[in-house]
């Protein structure tokens, strides 16, 4: 379908596309309305994973996937406004590939994969290999994002974002965290603090190693602080109108520390 009219612009919720069209930044010869493609508009569970169709709007992720994908649902809840959440979804967030996209940190933290399809076939790409730079990704001109496959939560997950007010903010920086209490792994995702969303591999390894998984006592301040600093060190932020690089690093270390505390509290009460 995309191959037949390669210059057609895919449109899902339109919350990024229509802003560009309304301001004449783009005048494509045709639009490809993905909202009419039934296969993209649902989700199902599959062997410990959720296969989430590209056009499922954030409002449904919040309403239906809070238990299976808590990190993504938390992030979805912070997107725009009710009207935006009723339309926009993960496929469009990936299509735009903004480093500030709120779906990205939870996808990285959970080790999700992105499914891409064209007439040439279907391929899957790990979420942390999907992004190439600001608004650039591995998505080819003739490809569509059909779904993301996200492991169902196997432990507490968190998402936190710093913005200038409570509603309708683009993240100054954001952080997603996923603990897997079975395999004792820690996943991270940093948003808006680099040319692409990023994982903090050193912080993941450190936390997986030192967290007292067997008999979880309270988290020590040293572990939380070290984790926060390793997350901040993984970021490569820039100065822009929304915040300075130094502020973003500082804010990220606070978000990381805080979300690890919240998540660990959940581990202890389970």
Partner 1 sequence: MRVNIEINGERHTADDVWPGESLLYVLRERLGLPGSKNACEQGECGSCTVYLDDTPVCACLVAAGQAEGRSVRTVEGLGTEDELDPVQEAFVRTGAVQCGFCTPGLIVAAHELVHRSPDATDAEIREALAGNLCRCTGYEKILDAVRLAAKGVQR
Ligand X SMILES: Cc1cc2nc3c(=O)[nH]c(=O)nc-3n(C[C@H](O)[C@H](O)[C@H](O)COP(=O)(O)OP(=O)(O)OC[C@H]3O[C@@H](n4cnc5c(N)ncnc54)[C@H](O)[C@@H]3O)c2cc1C
Question: Which of 11, 127, 198, 207 is close enough to bind ligand X by CB under 6 A?
Answer: 11
267 vs 270: CA distance, rounded Å: 5
Instruction: Say which residues have a Cβ less than 8 Å from residue 68's Cβ, sequence separation at least 6.
Output: 45, 50, 152, 153
- Using CB under 8 A, which residues numbered 40 to 59 contact partner 1? 59
Q: What order of strands is seen across the sheet that includes strand 43-46?
A: 43-46, 49-53, 144-151, 113-118, 121-126
Binding mask 82-101 toward ligand X (x if CB under 6 A, else -) reads --x--xxx-xxx-xx----x
Determine contact, residues 21/128, Cβ cutoff 8 Å: no
78-137 positions binding partner 1, by CB under 8 A: 80-84, 86-87
Is residue 21 within 8 A of residue 160, CB to CB? The reply is: no
- Number of residues counted as binding partner 1 (CB under 8 A): 27
Segment 165 to 224, residues that bind partner 1, using CB under 8 A: 166-168
Say if residues 100 and 175 touch (Cβ distance below 8 Å).
no
Choose from partner 1, ligand X, none: what does 167 bind? Cβ within 5-8 Å by kind: partner 1
Q: Which stretch binds ligand X (CB under 6 A): 77-85, 118-126, 210-218, 219-227?
A: 77-85
* Among the residue ranges 78-86, 150-158, 194-202, 208-216, the one whose residues contact ligand X (CB under 6 A): 78-86
Residue 178 phi, psi (nearest 5): -135, 125
DSSP state of 242: T
Q: Which is nearer to partner 1, 17 or 114 (CB)?
A: 17
Find tokens 């590939």 and name the residue: 97
- Answer for which of 10, 11, 200, 253 binds partner 1 (CB under 8 A) is 11
Contact 148, 112 (CB under 8 A): yes
Q: Is 251 exposed, middle or buried (0-12, 13-18, 19+ CB in 10 A)?
A: buried
Contacting residue, 6, 33, 46, 63, with partner 1 by CB under 8 A: 33
Q: Give the shortest CB-20-to-ligand X separation in angstroms.
A: 8
Is the CB of 35 or the CB of 216 nearer to ligand X? 35
Residue with tokens 């993301």: 148
> What does the binding site for partner 1 look like in residue numbers (CB under 8 A)?
11, 13-15, 17-19, 21-23, 27-28, 30-31, 33, 35, 59, 80-84, 86-87, 166-168
> What does the binding site for ligand X look like in residue numbers (CB under 6 A)?
9-17, 19, 34, 54, 79-80, 84, 87-89, 91-93, 95-96, 101-102, 139, 144-145, 168, 170
């Amino acid at each position: 379908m995309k191959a037949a009219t390669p210059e057609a612009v895919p449109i899902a919720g339109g919350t990024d596309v229509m802003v560009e069209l309304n301001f004449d930044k783009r005048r494509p010869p045709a639009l490809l309305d993905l909202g009419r493609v039934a296969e993209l508009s649902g989700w199902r569970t599959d062997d410990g994973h959720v296969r989430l169709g590209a056009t499922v709007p954030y409002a449904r992720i919040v309403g239906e996937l809070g238990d299976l994908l808590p990190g993504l649902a938390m992030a979805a809840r912070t997107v725009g406004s009710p009207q935006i959440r009723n339309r926009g979804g993960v496929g469009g967030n990936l299509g735009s590939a903004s480093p500030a996209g709120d779906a990205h940190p939870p996808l990285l933290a959970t080790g999700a994969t992105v499914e891409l399809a064209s007439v040439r076939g279907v391929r899957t790409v790990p979420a942390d290999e999907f992004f190439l730079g600001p608004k650039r990704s591995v998505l080819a001109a003739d490809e569509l994002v059909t779904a993301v496959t996200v492991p169902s939560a196997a432990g507490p997950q968190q998402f936190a974002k710093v913005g200038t007010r409570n509603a309708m903010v683009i993240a100054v920086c954001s952080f997603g965290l996923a603990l897997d209490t079975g395999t004792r792994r820690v996943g991270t995702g940093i948003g808006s603090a680099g040319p692409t969303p990023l994982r903090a591999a050193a912080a993941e390894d450190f936390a997986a190693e030192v967290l007292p998984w067997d008999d979880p006592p309270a988290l020590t301040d040293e572990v939380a602080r070290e984790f926060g600093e390793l997350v901040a060190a993984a970021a490569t932020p820039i100065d822009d109108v929304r915040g300075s690089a130094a502020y973003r690093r500082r804010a990220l270390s606070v978000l990381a520390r805080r979300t690890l505390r919240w998540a660990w509290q959940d581990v202890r009460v389970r």
